[in-house]
Amino acid sequence: MLTPEENDLLCRVEGNAPMGQLMRRHWIPALMSEELVTDGKPVRVKLLGEELVAFRNSEGKVGLLDEFCPHRGPSLAYGRNEQCGLRCLYHGWKFDIEGNVVEMPSEPVGTPMKEKTKIKSYPTAEAGGFVWAYMGPAAEKIAFQRPPFSPNDSTQVSITKVKVPCNWAQIQEGQIDSAHSSSLHSSDMVPARVESAGATSTNWTRPSTDKAPRMISQVTPYGFRYVALRRPIKNAQTHDYARITVYVAPFISLIPPNSSYNVASVVVPADDTSTWFYFISWGGTDTVGTDEWRAFNHLVKGVDIDEHYNSRRTMDNDFGQDRDAMASGNFTGIKGIPNQDIAMWVSMGKIADRSRDTLGASDIAVVEFRRLMVEAVKQFRDGADAAIGTAEPRVPQIEIASYQGIVSKGTDWLTLGTQATEQAILNNMAKAAS
Ligand code: FES
Ligand SMILES: [Fe+2]
C-alpha cells in the first residue's frame, strides 16, 4: 500500500513533479516514426504535460518543438512544413528543427530579433519504429541507445498505438503483472499441450493451466526482472513453466515471448491522467507484420481507434463488451488483448488509489514495481541518486531480454535470458549485497 504522498510521487509527471523530471533523464519514446512524412503534416505530441509539435523536414530529420509560436502563440500544428522548416501560418515566422528562427517575414530585413528569438526544441533520435526525444537538462544527457526490442535496423518491429485515459503507473503495473493473463486474457492465451508458448493469427497458446504462479523478483541496474513459475501441463512433477518479465525503467516492459515472436510494451505519460500505450511484437522467427498485428489486437485505425489514437471503446460503451459472447464462453466479451487491459486500467480511475488495494502473493511484481520506483524517485528528488537506469554500469539495452520456457525444477532462473554483461553486473551486485 502506498500513502497518498507516495502515490503522487509515483504517478505525477507534469511540471516539476520528480517522476516527470526522472523520466526526462531518459530518451523518451515520443511517437512512431511512421506518423511523420518528409515535408508532411506536423503532428501534435503531448509528453509529460508539455504540448509539442513534431515534423519531419525536407532532409528526413525530425524536429520536436513547442507547439505554440513564440510570436503570438497560435499552434504550429497548422503550420507549413516546407524547405527544412516549419512555418507559422499567422505571420510566416519559420523555425528549423533546432528551434532557430530562419525567416521572420513580418519584421524588417536584418532585424536582430531573428537571432535573439528561439522556440523550445528537443533533440531527437530514431530507432525501432520510434522517434525518441531527450527532454532533460543538456548537461545530463545520456548517449542514445537502441531499445531492447530493436537490436538492429533489420529487426521487424510491429507496433500498435493507443491513447489511454488514465495515469501511466497503473498501466505499467498491468504490463509487468504476469498473474492477470491467466484470467483476463484466458480466451486469447489458451492452455495447450505444447512444448512452448505459441501464436496463431487469433490467439496465443501456453503450456500451462496454472492460474496461481509463484513469483520471485530480482532488482537490476535498469529496473527489475522476475520469474513466474507455473505447473506445466506435461511433466509437472519434474519441471516448471517459467515466464520471465522484465521492467526497463521507466518506459519499457519486456513480456515473455512465444515461439513466433517477442513481445514488448512502451508506456509514456502524455500528462498525469492520459498515457500513450504501445504494444509491440518483434524480432522472432515469424514476427507478424504491422497490419496483421494491429488486426490481432483489435486496434485498427478507423475501426477501433480514431486518427489521434483514441479508442472507440470507452467507459460509455462498456468497451464494447459483448455479454452474449461471454455466455457462449468468451471470458471478457471484449475483443483484443490490449482492449481487455484498457478496460481494467481505465475503470480503476484516472489515478488509481493504491491505499485501497488488497495485495496477495501473486502481486509480487506490482509490489516490486512500486517499491523500486517510489524509492528511485525519492532518491532522485533528494539528489542522492541519478535517475534509475542512467548510472554506470549500464546493461546495454539490446542485451536485455525476457524469457519463457519449460525448465527442470531447481534451474537457477537468474541465468535465464541474461547475457554476459548483465550476468557480470548482477553477480557484482549480489556480491556487494552479501
Ligand atoms: S504568431 Fe506565429 S508568426 Fe506570428
Ligand atoms: Fe494484459
pLDDT, tens digit (0-9, with 9 covering 90-100), for 251-292? 999 999 998 999 999 999 999 999 999 999 999 788 899 999
Amino acid, single-letter form, for residue 45: V
Q: What pTM value is reported for the model? A: 0.96
Nearest CA to ligand 1 atom 3: 91
Angle at 290 between CA 192 and CA 184, to 5 degrees: 40
DSSP conformation class of 144? P
Angle at 360 between CA 387 and CA 255, to 5 degrees: 50
What are the grid coordinates assigned to 132, written together?
Answer: 525518441
Q: Is the CB of 71 inside a 6 Å radius of any atom of ligand 1?
A: yes
Indicate the range of 237-241, 333-337, 414-418 predicted with least confidence: 414-418
> Do the beta carbons of residue 189 and residue 181 sit within 8 Å?
yes
Nearest CA to ligand 1 atom 4: 91
Nearest one of 205, 207, 201, 179 to 190, comparing CA atoms:
205
Quick one: CA dihedral 62, 67, 71, 74, positive or negative?
Answer: positive
Ligand 2 centre from 10 Cα, in Å? 21
Indicate the range of 108-122, 189-203, 223-237, 419-433 predicted with least confidence: 189-203
Nearest one of 235, 236, 281 to 402, comparing CA atoms:
281
> Do the beta carbons of residue 23 and residue 42 sit within 8 Å?
no
Digit-coded pLDDT (tens) for 358-397 = 998 889 999 999 999 999 999 999 999 999 999 988 999 9
- Top mutation candidate among 68, 93, 103 for ligand 1, by most atoms within 8 Å of CB: 93
pLDDT of the residue at 423: 87
What average pLDDT does this structure show over 338-358? 96
Ligand 2 centre from 181 Cα, in Å? 6
